[in-house]
Amino acid sequence: MSATTVQSAPAASRHAFPDPGEGVPTISWPIVGIFTGAIAIFAFSTWAAVTDRLPVPVTILISAFAIFMLFTVLHDASHYSVSTHRWVNVAFGRVSMLFVSSLISFKSFAFIHIEHHRNTNDDANDPDHFISGAAWWQAPVRFPLMDVPYLTCLVRNVKRRPRAEVLETSFLMVASVAVIVTSAFTGHLWTLAVLYLIPGRVAMFVLAWWFDWLPHHDLEDTQQENRYRATRNRVGAEWIFTPLLLSQNYHLVHHLHPSIPFHRYVATWRRNEDAYLARDAAIGTVLGQQLDPHQYREWKRLNGKLARLLPVRMPRRSSARAAEFHSVPVASVDRLTEDSVLIRFAVPDELREEFSFEPGQHITVRTDLGGEGVRRNYSICSSATSDTLAIAVKLIPGGAFSTFAMTQLRAGDTLELMTPTGSFGTPLHPLAKKNYVAIVAGSGITPALSILQATLAVETESRFTLIYGNRDADSTMFRDELDDLEAQYADRLRIIHVRSRDPRHPAHLRGRVDHARLEQWLDSDLAAASVDDWFLCGPVEMVTDLRGRLIERGAEPNCVHVELFHGYETSRVADDFSPATIAVKLRGRQHEVLLAAGDTVLESALKAGLEAPYACLGGACGTCTAKVLLGSVAMEQNFALSQAVVEGGYVLTCQSHPTTPSITVDYDA
């Protein structure tokens, strides 16, 4: 969105707060960790200085680093974001304050700091304006004196401060002066300077620079006038600057949501980025360039190329022992095409590990529509290297859930989501140099999109070709996202759009993705033997046809991965299979179940009231996978498990009939 568009946004939406989706934790363990680490570092540098183990400048820098860390604890404590227990914040704040500045009590500091938040950039009332409003040549002199305006502010407001707080601060000031004078008279002033006074000033210099100067200087709006433009984020090279600045490169998030602990700033920004940009949030790069929202989006797109040089988060499987449902709020519902929507979920912190996923996995959505339980399985379309969990839902005429998603589902609603399952993707390795091809049609793009994003991010030497069939441009899901990815990975990603009803599309790419067209690609630049892994997703006929042809043309069967949204209809004869007894291991418990003649293992488990996982019931999704520990079964159809997995003893329980009188299956394996 451009700045011009923003100006025309309705006043209400400009001033309503985006929901940060973050709260104060019972206890913030990262802050506890920083506090403990900083105290240990300070103790070490003190010991090293006293025993002459390290040169004086080195111990000064190490102590200054510890004080810098303790300021972050103090800062979060002053916003009561270390813990939901007030006394915990006060305890952490009081101890940290002694290291940062012994002249002011924690309560006085918290008061003055809140004055800064209330009056940011107001030269008369913002105590930090002493730093942020300084001319560039004054800044280095003012940085180490940052506590001077704090003391001035306190003196100005002394009459309205509680007596106990004033007494505490007065006592600290007197005690500090007494310690310095005593040190001078006893010949220990230099030791005190090396251990505490000089490191304190060095830390203050850096704190003033990073907490005040970088986020606030040169911004003209005050907090009262426009809170989105009184503070800025410094974007770029987050992999180094976020840990180095302890997240203060995203200081704007702190000013918008002061009670969020520092380690959640970047996640909060990413979750609400569109909402902040719609409010014309102030953004600068680490090199000092100021960006409006439109320029920021362009900058992000171009920097995607650089991003591949940076470390990325490796995809991880869900930590859940067996697939199970959780209530998860919907973060947003956005239209993709006329008949499809993108649903993003706001996964709560405590469920993040359970909802981590690998590329190509899917989730099952369960909801009650008009009193009827509905369960649908959707591939995750977001990248497994990101923090986002998203699915795309395409309208199926008469489809209960897809109609509901298109017409009624809204951000803030809650859905029951099963933890991710499935094994469509392949393991990724940062040093791999492979050649991948995905052939998909329609909503078959969803798992392929997740796979190609994660693959290109993790394997910086690998190449990816996407062949994507649709009716026309308008019905193409993720058209813009794919354009962006193609621009971002121009040298490694090739996208071939095949369109069946688009007269303006190039003639050689007009029609369906089928057997004949595959032959042409195989004969030109996609020789089956040169491709390491194939991913096929779309209508069952297309997928099975292409898979057969690829294997005939030399592709290794284990390297042709297929994902179907449903299997074939089967016509089972109950008498074909006998009754049996089944021991079902599920979520750490074992249950004995009787299986009636003709029932599948899954059916008998469900009839016995067990919450066994399932979704498609057609042998396509793999959600019902379990390991056979004892006995044997016959599967009617299997479109989800590779030969190697089946040989490992795994079966689709929705398709499995016992062929021995008793069996044991383990859903937790």
614 near ligand FES (CB under 6 A): yes
- 468 vs 614, beta carbon nearer ligand FES: 614
Please pick, from the candidates 622, 650, 663, 667, the single residue that binds ligand FES as defined by CB under 6 A.
622
Instruction: Kindly state the helix (H) or strand (E) to which residue 563 belongs, with its residue range.
Output: strand 560-563
In sequence order, what are the beta bridge partners of 90?
Answer: none
Within 265-304, the residues that bind ligand FES by CB under 6 A are none
- Site residue total, ligand FES (CB under 6 A): 13
| 510 vs 162: CA distance, rounded Å | 78
620 near ligand FES (CB under 6 A): yes
Chain-centroid distance, C-alpha 482: 20
Name the one range near ligand FES by CB under 6 A: 9-17, 205-213, 325-333, 620-628.
620-628
537 near ligand FES (CB under 6 A): no
Min dist. Cβ of residue 616 to ligand FES (A) = 4
Min dist. Cβ of residue 40 to ligand FES (A) = 51
562 near ligand FES (CB under 6 A): no
How crowded is residue 295: how many other Cβ atoms within 10 Å of its Cβ? 15
CA distances to 96, 223, 302 from 149, in Å: 20, 19, 42
Sheet holding 625-630, edge to edge: 589-595, 580-586, 662-666, 625-630, 650-652
Name the one range near ligand FES by CB under 6 A: 78-86, 214-222, 287-295, 622-630.
622-630
Chain-centroid distance, C-alpha 331: 13
Name the one range near ligand FES by CB under 6 A: 94-102, 202-210, 541-549, 611-619.
611-619
Residue 82 contacts residue 31 (beta carbons within 8 Å): yes
Chain-centroid distance, C-alpha 238: 14
623 near ligand FES (CB under 6 A): yes
640 near ligand FES (CB under 6 A): yes
How many alpha carbons fall within 13 Å on the CB side of residue 465?
18
Q: Please compute Rg for the chain using Cα positions.
A: 30
Cα torsion 590, 596, 600, 603 to 10°: value is -70
619 near ligand FES (CB under 6 A): yes
211 near ligand FES (CB under 6 A): no
* Residue in this structure with the two tokens 């102030």, named with its chain if needed: 282
Within 648-667, the residues that bind ligand FES by CB under 6 A are 652, 654
Quick note: the x/- pattern for ligand FES over 39-68, rule CB under 6 A, is ------------------------------
336 near ligand FES (CB under 6 A): no
| 361 vs 340: CA distance, rounded Å | 20
Min dist. Cβ of residue 603 to ligand FES (A) = 11
- 133 vs 619, beta carbon nearer ligand FES: 619
| 227 vs 229: CA distance, rounded Å | 5
Name the one range near ligand FES by CB under 6 A: 278-286, 502-510, 609-617, 658-666.
609-617
Which is it for strands 290-291 and 282-285: parallel, antiparallel or unpaired? antiparallel
- 341 vs 621, beta carbon nearer ligand FES: 621
Residues binding ligand FES (CB under 6 A)? 614-617, 619-624, 640, 652, 654
